[in-house]
């Protein structure tokens, strides 16, 4: 969780100083109503999903439809070069065949002539927040749920139109939202959901108002009722809340092992869970045949998570060389976000600015370690709470050009990120290959005006560079 508006920070610190705030009182009343309506929203979403004639974890497609892409230059998600004059046949939601002999198209196929354009797999963002990305935090904390989910619905389509056909969601009330996308109610990317972020009291993601502290018995905070976070302080509660996310369909578990930029009372250097507690989380996830990824910046926080047996580390911008070597030795994945300038954190004010600047300093050093030690590294954008920042999702990807070739960048955002998604194992919501163009893989395809292997910055302008966007066998844009 990276970004946080100053309005919330002012609200937190103002009340913390003993000041009364009509805004806070109004927010509290509106959140009470929000919680009641959230229940109705969840019930309504469940009813819609139950009435939809598809499995809740399956993408819909016209199973008899055939689409033939002709005269394409193919980037298959794994290669360094393009394969010329290729035909790709899509049947239903899968790639049926790849042909270089220019055989006659099936009589019942819709033909899309790529006219020597580049065809590649859909992009994958390994660190996204589908519900929270475009909603300003004050609106999220005190707004009407209709506004929140209308905003998220619009952003889901924009995410898809930027070429991202799959995202790994690392925190938020996304389960019914995912079902709405999967069943075709709204357009959007595939979602690998984590559900609520698991944290401790005072940890990153604990955004309770001062009026909610101390906790009243087992009463959940508004953020927990929303499904954004789960605050736990003992092993039993930790197991319970993780199992609740898995019960709802989580494909992996997100644990907040340290502080963060956007939580004003959770500094970057802090460490939350003990090693035993982190190991408990890892064991629960393994029992469900999936994995834990941890949010961690500081070296000691990352090292504790490694000792507990986690599979993936998010961020790690402040780690030292010893920690990087440990990540490599253990074969743990690193999910990095290449934060470089304040443009990448434009919503930050107050203490968040100073913390963000620490990440800007750490980013180049981390990629030096990645290169030196061969760390398995995924890419994610981690845009939060800002409709102005969400269009920078593509720019966050092209930031990688400082350390990688264009072909390497495209592989990271397709087949490499897909390898990380595959760690969800039996909890994967989509049974099929992602991030590659090969027979049997999901038909998530992009056709580009231009060659990203020559000019990666084409990715930054999806409105003009993406001529065709297909997800799950369905064409969402065809400008040819």
Task: Supply the pLDDT for residue 384.
Answer: 84
Cis peptide before 262 (omega within 30 of 0): no
The pLDDT value recorded for residue 341 is 82
Burial class (CB in 10 A: 0-12, 13-18, 19+), 375: buried
One domain, residues 165 and 266 = yes
Q: What is the CATH number of the domain that holds 347?
A: 3.20.20.140
Could you tell me if 169 and 254 lie in one domain? yes
In terms of domains, do 108 and 187 share one?
A: no
**Residue 431 falls within a domain, yes or no?**
no
Diameter of the chain by CA atoms?
76
79 exposed, middle or buried (CB, 10 Å; 0-12, 13-18, 19+)? middle
- Please say whether the beta carbons of 279 and 308 come within 8 A: yes
Same-domain pairing of 109 and 128: no
Report d(CA 69, CA 89) in Å as an integer.
Answer: 6
Q: What is the CA radius of gyration of the chain?
A: 22
Query: How is residue 64 written in tokens?
Result: 């008899």
The answer to whether residue 59 is domain-embedded is no
The confidence score (pLDDT) of residue 145 equals 78
Going by C-alpha positions, the residue among 453, 444, 473 that lies closest to residue 118 is 453
- Residues 245 and 139 reside in one and the same domain: yes
Give yes or no: residues 294 and 441 share one domain.
no
What pLDDT, on a 0 to 100 scale, did the predictor assign at position 128?
Answer: 97
Q: In the prediction, which pLDDT does 7 show?
A: 34
- 426 part of a folded domain: no
Residues 133 and 97 occupy one common structural domain:
no
* DSSP symbol at 112: E
312-321: list long-range contacts, CB under 8 Å, 24+ apart.
312/252, 312/378, 312/420, 312/423, 314/127, 314/170, 314/254, 314/380, 315/359, 316/366, 317/358, 317/359, 317/362, 317/363, 317/366, 318/268, 318/358, 318/359, 318/362, 319/362, 319/366, 319/369, 321/369
Which pLDDT does position 347 carry in this prediction? 62
The Cα–Cα gap between 247 and 241 comes to 10
Q: Are residues 329 and 448 in the same domain?
A: no
Between the two ends of the chain, the Cα-to-Cα distance in Å is 38
Coil, helix or strand for 477? Answer: strand
List of residues 6+ apart from 166 with CB closer than 8 A: 122, 123, 124, 125, 189, 190, 191, 192, 417, 418, 421, 434, 435, 444
Copy the structure tokens of residue 478: 């065809």
**Are 194 and 248 found together in one domain?**
yes
pTM of the model: 0.87
| One domain for residues 308 and 330 | yes
Q: Looking at 380, 403, 426, which one is the last position of a domain? A: 403
Domain interval for residue 453? 66-120+436-478
List beta partners, residue 229: 197
On whether both 104 and 129 belong to a single domain, the answer is: no
Q: Are residues 41 and 181 in the same domain?
A: yes
Indicate the residue among 388, 403, 418 that finishes a domain: 403
Residue 58 inside a domain? The answer is no
Q: What was the pLDDT predicted at 29?
A: 45
Spatial contact of 143 and 100, defined as CB atoms under 8 Å apart: no
Looking at the DSSP bridge assignments, the partners of residue 120 are 446
> Is 423 among the domain residues?
no
Q: Say which residue the tokens 């006219």 belong to.
A: 115
Tens digit of pLDDT at every position of the chain (480 positions): 433 333 333 333 333 333 333 333 444 444 444 444 443 344 344 334 433 333 333 444 344 589 999 999 999 999 999 999 999 999 999 999 999 988 888 989 999 999 999 999 999 999 999 999 988 877 877 657 788 889 999 999 999 999 999 999 999 999 999 999 999 999 999 999 999 999 999 999 888 878 888 888 888 988 888 889 999 999 999 999 999 999 999 999 999 999 887 677 778 889 999 999 999 999 999 999 999 999 999 999 999 999 999 999 999 999 999 999 999 999 999 999 998 887 777 666 566 677 778 788 999 999 999 999 999 999 999 998 888 899 999 999 999 999 999 999 999 999 999 999 999 999 999 999 999 999 999 999 999 999 999 999 999 999 999 999 999 999 999 999
**What DSSP state is assigned to residue 174?**
-
The number of distinct structural domains making up the chain is 2
For residue 103, the model assigns a pLDDT of 85
CATH number, domain containing residue 114: 2.30.40.10
Domain boundary pick from 353, 384, 403? 403
Cα–Cα distances in Å, from 133 out to 27, 66, 73, 170, 191? 21, 34, 34, 11, 14
Question: What pLDDT, on the 0 to 100 scale, is given for residue 61?
Answer: 38
DSSP states along 402-468: GTS-HHHHHHIIIIIHHHHHGGGGGG-SS-S--SS-STTSB--EEEESS-TTT-GGGGG-HHHHEEE
């Amino acid at each position: 969780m990276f970004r946080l508006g100053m309005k919330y920070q002012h609200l937190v610190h103002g009340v913390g100083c003993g000041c009364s705030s009509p805004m806070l009182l109004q927010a509290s009343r509106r959140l009470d109503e929000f919680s009641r309506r959230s229940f109705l929203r969840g019930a309504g979403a469940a009813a819609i999903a139950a009435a939809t004639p598809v499995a809740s974890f399956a993408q819909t497609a016209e199973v008899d439809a055939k689409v033939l892409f002709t005269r394409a230059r193919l980037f298959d998600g794994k290669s360094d070069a393009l394969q010329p004059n290729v035909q790709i046949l899509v049947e239903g939601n899968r790639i049926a065949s790849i042909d270089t002999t220019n055989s006659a198209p099936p009589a019942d196929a819709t033909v899309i002539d790529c006219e020597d354009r580049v065809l590649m797999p859909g992009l994958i963002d390994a660190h996204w927040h589908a519900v929270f990305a475009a909603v300003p935090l004050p609106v999220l904390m005190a707004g009407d749920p209709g506004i929140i989910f209308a905003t998220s619905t619009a952003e889901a389509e924009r995410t898809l139109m930027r070429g991202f056909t799959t995202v790994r969601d690392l925190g938020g009330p996304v389960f019914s939202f995912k079902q709405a996308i999967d069943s075709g109610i709204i357009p959007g990317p595939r979602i690998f959901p984590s559900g609520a972020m698991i944290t401790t009291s005072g940890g990153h993601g604990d955004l309770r108002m001062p009026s909610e502290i101390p906790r009243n018995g087992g009463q959940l905070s508004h953020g927990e009722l929303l499904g954004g976070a789960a605050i736990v302080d003992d092993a039993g509660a930790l197991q319970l809340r993780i199992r609740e996310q898995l019960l709802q369909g989580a494909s992996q578990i997100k644990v907040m092992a340290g502080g963060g930029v956007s939580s004003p009372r959770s500094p970057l250097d802090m460490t939350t869970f003990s090693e035993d507690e982190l190991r408990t989380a890892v064991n629960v996830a393994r029992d469900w045949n999936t994995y834990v990824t941890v949010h961690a910046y500081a070296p000691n926080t990352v090292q504790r998570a490694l000792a507990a047996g986690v599979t993936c580390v998010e961020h790690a911008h402040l780690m030292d060389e010893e920690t990087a070597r440990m990540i490599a030795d253990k074969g743990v994945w690193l999910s990095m976000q290449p934060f470089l300038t304040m443009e990448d954190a434009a919503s930050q004010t107050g203490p968040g600015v100073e913390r963000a600047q620490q990440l800007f300093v750490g980013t180049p050093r981390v990629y030096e370690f990645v290169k030196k030690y061969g760390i398995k590294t995924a890419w994610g954008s981690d845009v939060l709470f800002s409709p102005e920042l969400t269009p920078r999702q593509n720019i966050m990807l092209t930031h990688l050009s400082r350390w990688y070739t264009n072909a390497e960048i495209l592989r990271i955002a397709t087949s490499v990120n897909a390898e990380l998604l595959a760690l969800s194992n039996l909890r994967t919501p989509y049974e099929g290959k992602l991030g590659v163009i090969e027979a049997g893989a999901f038909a998530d395809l992009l056709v580009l005006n231009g060659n990203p292997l020559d000019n990666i910055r084409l990715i930054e302008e999806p409105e003009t560079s993406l001529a065709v966007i297909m997800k799950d066998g369905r064409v969402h844009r065809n400008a040819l």
